[in-house]
Amino acid sequence: MLDSQVLAIAPTSQRGWFSRRLLNALGFLTCAFGLGYAYYAQFGLGFEPCPLCIFQRLALMGVGLLFLAAMIHNPHEWGAKAYGLLVGLTTVVGAGIAARHVWLQQLPPEEAPRCGPGLDYMLQTFPLSETIREVLTGSGECAKMDWTLLGLSMPTWTLLLFLGLGVAGVVGNGWLRR
């Protein structure tokens, strides 16, 4: 019922060309662009990603794969809502990691955590649960702000990206008709 109410306010001309499949394709392409830029920043511009950056990339990859699966599968009603829920949950995880990263960057230098071992070392040495805990508590290299655009750091832009993708994925897969 709410589905038809949402579409009733959209002009008829927009209903014909805009679909869940298009929304999911755009979500996937947005994730691919975000990951592409992250790798360009790493290999082209020389910015080494910290462990929290790598976790954000993994979350963005997960969101992108969910958008891709939803685009290919193109389910009806409840299937679409399930994809919307999965996209929403994955973006919440990614947004949480990005928010933690933004918080670490806002700390005064004397309050920032000490630098810890690299992610490769932790994965080889520690159990996975301890590695995840260590990464999410952050380290000194995660508090460093190397790159900004319009006064916002890359984790801030990533947080905004996760929030936008989450809203688009949940609303678009939950309330748009094919």
pLDDT tens string 52-87: 888 899 999 999 999 999 999 888 888 888 999 999
The topology under which CATH files domain 17-113+139-175 is Bromodomain-like (1.20.1550)
Residue 14: the pLDDT is 42
The residue type at 170: V
**Residues facing 152 on adjacent strands:** 149
Rounded Cα–Cα distance for residues 137 and 72 (Å)? 37
pLDDT tens string 6-51: 444 444 334 455 688 899 999 999 999 999 999 999 999 888 888 8
Rounded average pLDDT over 95-114: 80
Residue 175: the pLDDT is 63
pLDDT tens string 126-153: 777 777 777 766 666 666 777 766 887 8
H helix runs in the chain, sequence order: 2-8, 12-17, 20-43, 51-73, 77-106, 119-125, 128-137, 140-143, 154-175
Residue 111: the pLDDT is 66
Phi, psi of 126 (to 5 degrees): -95, 160
Residue that has been written with the tokens 């810890």 in this structure: 116
Residue 123: the pLDDT is 73
Residue 91: the pLDDT is 96
